[in-house]
């Protein structure tokens, strides 16, 4: 592995791409520590130390590398872009115009990317406005004595400067991510997401060590490391698992040349939906807490019931609801992202068929059957992985951002595998041994 890294840096163009990516990552982490104008940095630090990140803003704070609760220029992180991408992907199935653009190839993809940028900026304005309003009202850090002093000057001008700065930060991150995609290694947005989550690992592990009681916390620390390594191995195994559906292409004669006659396969991953179901389920479960927070009726009976059953991660109702939502969204996302009828039509158009299955509708039904069969273990796996932070909450008194579990471990492993594969392909093009042997 280390020899492969050395060979990667010895290749001039690959070294240039790696150094460029590392430079963008450094800029991203620097921006995550620059406060927004108009924010009291001392009050923010005092409240962050006592904050419970398992609340309403826990997921967004995770994707911003802790910059959200610190109210920095990159406080919104890449969540506006992720949300915009998911919305455009869902609308592509519903709106015929977007579906037609998707089928136009590179020109249509460029147009959809442009729409995604516009929607990202619009969502960034909305999220920045909501975040600034929450910080001004003191509800960003409930229970903190200095929460009302985070924004000392609450004039309209200061508020507008804060909103514009956070929106510009989100747009800048989108630009940096696209620069990594074009001139660096890997997918830029995925790399920034990886860095945001990995930045919180040292602090989370050290907090578990300090909260431990056996052997001054070193036993808990070691246990978490061992469990984390086992989970990484499990996630790698499942993420790489796929069902290969064989496809045979008939031989065709065009003039004096023959085409086709080759065998290939359709790779259907066990976890076809990726981390999207976990994000959907987490976002949906934040709605009850949002309703309570802005309704002003925290003392009513229905609000207390929601607080006890749908907000507390250790509640059995919360656990069951969270698990069922992940399973549902796994099937939902796979249904809209993979169209068996379209795949069957494309195979029929180019003379392809699955051995033993007739082309056309029987092929679509067979692909749908196989996809449903492998989605069940994939959805159950996602649900169990996402519940690991809840178990950690009980065993180690950790929060929802437990380093080795849930959304974080899925993204870390998934992005790491894809980036290593890209470096591997770059090395193999130059007749070098890659990382994977």
Q: What is the pLDDT along the chain (437 residues), one digit of tens a residue?
A: 556 667 777 778 888 888 898 999 899 888 888 888 888 777 777 776 655 555 445 555 665 556 666 778 888 888 888 888 888 888 887 888 888 888 787 888 888 889 999 999 999 998 888 888 877 877 677 667 666 777 777 788 888 998 999 999 999 999 999 999 888 888 888 888 888 888 777 777 777 777 766 666 777 778 778 877 888 888 888 888 888 888 888 776 666 666 656 788 888 888 888 878 887 887 777 777 767 766 666 667 777 777 777 767 677 888 888 889 889 988 988 888 888 888 888 888 877 888 888 888 888 899 999 999 999 998 998 888 888 766 666 665 555 445 566 677 888 888 888 888 888 777 777 665 555 55
CB 239 within 8 A of CB 414: yes
Angle between helices 79-94 and 188-198 in degrees, nearest 10:
130
d(CA 35, CA 133): 16
Is it true that domain 205-404 has CATH number 1.10.3080.10?
A: no
**What is the C-alpha to C-alpha distance for residues 272 and 240, in angstroms, rounded to an integer?**
11
Instruction: Count CB atoms within 10 A of the CB of residue 97.
Output: 10
Say if pTM beats, i.e. exceeds, 0.95: no
Question: 205-404: same fold as 1-199?
Answer: yes
Sequence-ordered list of residues with C-beta below 8 angstroms from that of 411, at least 6 positions apart, any chain: 190, 193, 194, 197, 275
Q: What is the CATH number of domain 1-199?
A: 1.10.3370.10
DSSP letter, residue 57: T
Q: Where are the beta strands (DSSP E) in 50-197?
A: none
95 Cβ contact list (under 8 Å, min separation 6): none
Q: Distance between CA atoms of 141 and 422, rounded to whole angstroms?
A: 41
Reduced to 3 states (helix: H, G, I; strand: E, B; else coil), residue 72 is strand
**Residue 121: what pLDDT?**
93
User: Bridge-partner residues for 263, per DSSP?
Assistant: 248
Beta-bridge mates of residue 258: 253
Domain ranges of the chain: 1-199, 205-404
Q: Could you count the other beta carbons within 10 Å of the beta carbon of residue 401?
A: 24
pLDDT at 167: 93
pLDDT of residue 282: 77
Report how far apart, in Å, the C-alpha atoms of 370 and of each of 8, 365, 376 are: 39, 9, 10
Any idea of the CA torsion for 9, 12, 18, 24, to the nearest 10 degrees?
A: 140
Q: How is the beta sheet containing 242-249 ordered, strand by strand?
A: 263-269, 242-249, 352-353
pLDDT of 94:
81
pLDDT of residue 56: 47
Contact residues for 229 (Cβ-Cβ < 8 A; gap 6+): none
Separation in Å, CA 378 to CA 225, 227, 237, 274, 328: 25, 21, 12, 9, 12
- Residue 151: DSSP 8-state: S
């Amino acid at each position: 592995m280390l020899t492969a890294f050395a060979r990667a840096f010895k290749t001039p163009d690959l070294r240039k791409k790696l150094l460029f990516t590392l430079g963008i990552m450094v800029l991203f982490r620097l921006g995550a520590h620059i406060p927004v104008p108009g924010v009291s940095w001392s009050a923010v630090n005092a409240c962050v130390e006592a904050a419970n990140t398992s609340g309403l803003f826990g997921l967004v704070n995770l994707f911003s590398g802790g910059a959200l609760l610190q109210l920095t220029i990159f406080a919104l992180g890449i969540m506006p872009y992720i949300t915009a991408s998911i919305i455009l992907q869902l609308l592509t199935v519903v709106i015929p115009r977007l579906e037609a653009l998707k089928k136009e190839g590179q020109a249509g993809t460029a147009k959809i990317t442009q729409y995604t940028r516009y929607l990202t900026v619009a969502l960034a304005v909305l999220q920045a406005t909501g975040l600034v309003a929450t910080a001004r009202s003191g509800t960003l850090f409930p229970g903190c004595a200095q929460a009302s002093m985070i924004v000392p000057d609450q004039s309209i001008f200061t508020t507008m400067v804060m909103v514009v700065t956070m929106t510009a930060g989100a747009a800048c991150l989108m630009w940096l991510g696209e620069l990594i995609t074009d001139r660096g290694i890997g997918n830029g947005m995925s790399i920034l997401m990886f860095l945001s989550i990995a930045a919180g690992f040292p602090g989370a592990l050290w907090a578990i060590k300090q909260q431990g009681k056996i052997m001054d916390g070193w036993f808990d620390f070691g246990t978490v490391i061992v469990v984390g390594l086992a989970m990484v191995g499990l996630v790698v195994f499942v993420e790489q698992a796929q069902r290969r559906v064989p496809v045979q292409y008939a031989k065709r004669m065009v003039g004096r040349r023959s085409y086709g006659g080759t065998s290939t396969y359709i790779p259907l991953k066990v976890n076809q939906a990726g981390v999207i179901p976990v994000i959907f389920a987490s976002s949906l479960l934040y709605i009850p807490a949002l309703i309570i927070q802005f309704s002003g009726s925290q003392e009513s009976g229905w609000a207390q019931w929601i607080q006890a059953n749908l907000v507390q991660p250790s509640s059995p109702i919360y656990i069951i609801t969270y698990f069922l939502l992940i399973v549902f969204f796994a099937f939902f996302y796979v249904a809209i992202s993979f169209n068996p009828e379209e795949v069957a039509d494309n195979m029929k158009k180019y003379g392809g068929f699955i051995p033993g299955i007739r082309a056309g509708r029987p092929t679509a039904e067979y692909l749908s059957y196989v996809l449903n069969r492998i989605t069940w273990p994939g959805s159950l796996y996602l649900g169990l992985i996402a519940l690991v932070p809840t178990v950690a909450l009980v065993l180690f008194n950790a929060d929802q951002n437990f380093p080795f579990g849930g959304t974080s471990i899925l993204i870390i492993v998934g992005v790491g595998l894809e980036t290593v594969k890209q470096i591997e392909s770059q090395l193999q093009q130059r007749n070098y041994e890659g990382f994977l042997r």
